[in-house]
Structure 1
Amino acid sequence: MSLALGSAVEQLKLLRDKVISPMELAEEHIHRIERLNPMLNAIIDFDPDKVRAQARHVKSGMLSGLPITIKSSISVAGHLCETGSMLWRGRRADTDAVAVARLRAEGAIILGTTNCPEFLMAYETDNLLYGRTNNPWDLKRTAGGSSGGEAAAISAGLSAAGLGSDSGGSVREPAHFTGICSLKPTSGRVSSVGHLPPCVGPFSILGAVGPMARSVPDLELLFRVLSQPYFLDSASTPVAYRPVTLAEAKQFRIGYLEDDGFIAVTPETRQAVQNAVKTLKREGFSVEPFRPASLDAARKLWDIFFMQCGAMFYEPEIVGRRSELSPVFRDFLSQAESRNPLTPQALLQAWAEMDLVRNLLLTEMKQFPILLTPVCSVPAVLHGERSWTVEGTTVSYLDAMRYTQWFNLLGSPAAVVPVGTSDIGLPIGVQIAGMPFLDEAVLAVASVIDAEFGYKEPPIAQDSVA
């Protein structure tokens, strides 16, 4: 197996033991990018000479010499930060986002930035600037969105790990589609300063910058670096990183659901949840069926803030320029505009209801502070697909993704770990979510599932030359 397909933790050990040098590891990743990225279209701003220059002068730190990528909506000094839009074409970041600066300060090497859908408002990565990103498991399928380029790069070994962002499942759906791990942290645990567009208003709750990698120990390592409070960020929380042992994690009761009672999931998705439950029970965790009653109310409010408020935020940017927008973003606008108009009174009422529903969910989760759920109704879908037949019912695009949206409304942590496969061999992840600020406990539970199942090489990685 290529060194580049090992976990970030494994690659760092090889570097520390001087089995491989930072330059050699960088060259390994450069080679893979040059070979595989033309098929995947995952990395969209890449300069091998810049990578080599970093590798020659690596800083010491927890990530010293580790090659990583960053989603192109997160500022990386000198790199394009266009958020997939022709309207922002050529926009370059002058400074690093806070999260990027923290990774760089610990010695990480930035390989480049990764593709995303226009303005991040889609579960499929496609835009008019760079085109669509393909899934390493099947090039006819999407790697998801909005952190689809990041997921594809990590899954295929073009990058050891990286950063995405998530307002409705955008690090979790791509992880599920491509067979990797990801974490949407509690809102404010990782600073979003330097994200474009800014995570403000309702998106300070819905949105989060989070790590993506091939193993849960990799997520834990990145989260340790990223989760220091940043007091110049009004949304930052003053919660320091504190590891949770397995013994401590076993004190939390875990509730699980195979579906939410409204939208069907595939049989293989149910089986993945069941297999994760069996693993946790065997390891001594208390796991019981549980379906919070407030989930659908949370989803409906998420729809108001993500769809309708999201469209309102972008209106000043797109006025008079709709002809320049990508089909995926026009589809988002069409769906947002199909809702009843959001009056000032309706928006105020929804904002108040958000607090009430969040309180209801927290009250329900008090008995089960950790939840195990599907990530999505279906595995990776074909480019452009917008509905599917699941267990004899039609499941629409946004409904299929609802299993991640609840935890954006709650602002709580949620991780994804690959567990199963579909009937045609596509990866299927499970989601481990928790009450706000239980990020470390969520990761501890996820690590048990990851150790039992975890990352497998996609076909494109197996066929590549090391």
Structure 2
Amino acid sequence: MSDDIIFFDATRLAELIRTKAVSPVEVVQKHLDRIEATNPAINAIVTIAGGAIAAATAAEKAVLAGDDIGPLHGVPFTVKDSIDTAGVLTQRGSPIFKGRLPGVDATSVARMKATGGILLGKTNLPEFSYWIESDNLLSGRSNNPWDVTRTPGGSSGGESAAIAAGMSPIGLGTDLAISVRGPAAQTGITSMKATHGRVPMTGIWPRAPRRFWHVGPMARSVRDIALAFAQLAGPDGYDGFATSTVQFDAGIGRQPDRPLRVGWMVGPGFGPVDAEVAATVKAAAEALKDLGIHVEQVGIPALERDFALDVFNRLHVMEMKPAFREAIAGHEEQTYKMAKTMLSLPDTSMADFIDAEQAAERIRDGYAEYFRGFDALITHVLPIPAHKHGVEKFVIDGHTVDATYLQGATVPLNVTGLPGISMRFGTSREGLPINVQVVGSWLAESTILHVASLLESVSPVRYLHPKL
């Protein structure tokens, strides 16, 4: 058992600790040893949190004393370095914030600690959490554990790489357009972007544009995502978007009291998709059909009328640029390429901004109409598997596109605020993970967790891990 601990999911680790089958000290030490052995090649962990062994020792004493313990008692977790951690460096992927020590935990971190989780370390990201590769001037570039010549994605790429490589069983990332779901797909783990506002963004930077930002769990199993989300969700009295008081089942998710109806699509409306990725989405749909669920191929006309990535680009640039200008003022020489790129983009005209706002409303209405007849939607996460570092142009299904097009199937959920789960269901010819995305209606996390758990139960790649 000891040799396998680093690839157990958080739920199993918590159960082993609770039943005294394994010590939290051993669990934490095994992950620290794994970090020491593999992080030099992967560069996922940028800061080790002091006191993890001491916290594990205290957790062990609580178990032996028979104290009441939380659902993740003694389980280590990691956190993206844009999320505040009290007394632990939070440097946001930039030398501008080098040495920054928050005094208070972000709400999401505090809630993970309240479950009994032990903060293990902070994970790498792009400068200011803004790009699809995790690379910056302060802590460098993260590599994919499946192939170090490839990216683990961004902006939560350090987190995805750490979990995939066995350095951490579970953690927190943030998502503006792709950033927990895309990295999960590139490394073959599981993640969820919940309905916008379900999990408070308090203590996370940047906040602009707040209506598109999310924080969410990243892990190795659907049940881990369900467990973490049940602890993370709910108002905190600080984030004005976090207002939902809808109760959430801490289990995998509740099946609707009628037969499920699931649609699947890879386009049109998402941009070009690689044939292997499209085949994986279809395979997931067929697997659900084999389980007795009504499944059919669908389309959402609103996505064909208004390309969500274009809508997002016209909306978010105007709102992010002021935050970036404020952050770099007086430190221009310490900025990396993505901050410079953002600030060089032309402002959106007011007429174009209003047009984009109306397009976003049409997309929301399109999804609302779709969910009148269906409970979930299966799509791809990324149009291709993990790509080589530094690539800026891709040929996908005969079409040449720039790197922003990798967000084509994920960004609609940020524009609309819909929840989505990224989970592995396939493997490319080159041995790289391929994930599918399970999308639900607003506040329907229980439904998509149920669908994802069904897919996980028949997944052909459930127990695969990179060999490092």
Task: Provide the TM-score with structure 2 as the length reference.
Answer: 0.92
1:109 maps to 118
Structure-2 separation of matches of 1:348 and 1:261: 21
Q: Which residue of structure 1 aligns with residue 421 of structure 2?
A: 415
Q: Distance between the aligned counterparts of 2:132 and 2:418, measured in 1? A: 20
1:248, distance to aligned residue in structure 2 (A): 1.9
Residue among 210, 225, 235 paired with 1:229: 235
| Equivalence map 1:2-41=2 (5 Å) | 2-41=4-43
Match of residue 311 from structure 2: 301
In 2, distance between residues paired with 1:432 and 1:185? 11
Further displaced range: 76-85 or 408-417: 76-85
1: CA distance, partners of 2:82 / 2:260:
35
SS of the residue 1:183 aligns to: strand
Q: Which amino acid aligns with 1:239?
A: V
User: Is the contact made by 1:184 and 1:413 (CA closer than 8 Å) also made in structure 2?
Assistant: yes
| 1:122-152 deviation line (CA, Å, top 9, x unaligned) | 0100000000000000001110000000000
1:315 is aligned to 325
Q: Where does 1:14-413 land on structure 2 (aligned, <5 Å)?
A: 14-47=16-49, 49-58=50-59, 60-198=69-207, 200=208, 203-236=209-242, 237-242=244-249, 247-248=255-256, 251-260=259-268, 263-296=271-304, 297=306, 298-319=308-329, 321-334=331-344, 337=345, 339=346, 341-413=347-419
Deviation of 1:250 after TM superposition, in Å, equals: 6.3
Shift of the 427–332 alpha-carbon distance from structure 1 to 2, 3 Å rule, reads: farther
The alpha-carbon deviation at position 247 of structure 1 amounts to 4.0
8 Å contact 2:309–2:405 — kept in the other structure?
no
Look up the equivalent residue of 2:180 and give its one-letter code: V
Equivalent pairs: percent with the same residue?
36
For the Cα contact (< 8 Å) 1:250–1:284, is it kept in 2? no
Deviation at 1:333, TM superposition (A): 4.2
Change (3 A) 1:328 1:346: closer
TM-fit CA distance, 1:246: 5.9
Are the counterparts in 1 of residues 302 and 362 from structure 2 also a CA contact under 8 Å?
no
C-alpha RMSD of the superposition = 2.0
Rounded Cα–Cα distance in structure 1 between residues aligned with 2:42 and 2:322: 32
Deviations along 1:47-70, whole A, 9 cap, x unmatched?
Answer: 4x5111111122621110011101
**One-letter code aligned to 1:25:** V
Mapped contact 1:182–1:210 kept (Cα < 8 A) = yes
- Deviation, structure 1 residue 259: 2.9
Structure 1 CA distance for aligned equivalents of residues 87 and 463 of structure 2: 34
Cα deviation for residue 328 of structure 1 reads: 3.8
Q: Check whether the contact 2:270–2:409 (CA below 8 A) recurs between aligned residues.
A: no
Q: 2:258 and 2:437 mapped to 1: Cα distance?
A: 17
Q: For each residue in 1:381-438, what CA deviation from the matched residue of structure 2 results, as whole angstroms up to 9, or x when unmatched?
A: 1110112222222132111221100000010100011011111110000000111101
Larger mean Cα displacement after TM superposition, 443-452 or 364-373 = 364-373
**Which residue type is aligned with residue 228 of structure 2?**
L
| 8 Å Cα contact 1:273/1:373 also seen in 2 | yes
* 2:73–2:117 Cα contact (<8 Å) kept: yes
Correspondence for 2:434: 428
Corresponding pairs, count? 453
1:57 aligns to what SS in structure 2? helix
Q: Which residue of 2 aligns with 1:439?
A: 445
Instruction: Give the conservation status (yes or no) of the 8 Å contact 2:421–2:452.
Output: yes
Residue-by-residue CA offset, 1:84-113 (whole Å, 9 max, x unaligned): 012222211111111111110110010011
Larger RCO (CA within 8 A; separation ≥ 6): 1
Provide structure 1 residue ranges, at least 5 long, that are not aligned to the other structure.
none
Between 85-94 and 154-163, the greater mean CA deviation after superposition: 85-94
TM-score normalised by length of structure 1: 0.92
Is the 1:250–1:285 Cα contact (8 Å) retained in structure 2?
no
The 3-state SS of whatever aligns with 1:205 is coil
CA distance in 2, matches of 1:309, 1:50: 38
Q: Secondary structure at the match of 1:373?
A: strand
- Per-residue deviation, residues 318-361 of structure 1 (Å, max 9, x unmatched): 34543321124334445xx1x5x323454345345433432333
C-alpha displacement of 1:451: 1.8
> Whole-Å Cα distance in 2 between the matches of residues 295 and 443 of structure 1?
24
Cα distance, 1:188–1:265 mapped onto 2, change above 3 Å: same
Q: CA deviation at 1:314?
A: 1.4
The Cα shift of 1:245 comes to 5.1
Residue by residue over 1:147-185, the C-alpha shift from the partner in whole angstroms, topping out at 9 and shown as x without a partner, is: 000000000110010000101010000000000000000
Tell whether the 8 Å contact from 1:122 to 1:332 is kept in structure 2 after alignment: no
Distance 1:389 1:356, change over 3 A: closer
5+ residue gaps in structure 2?
63-68
What secondary structure is seen at the aligned counterpart in 1 of 2:256? helix
Corresponding residue number in structure 1 for 2:65: none
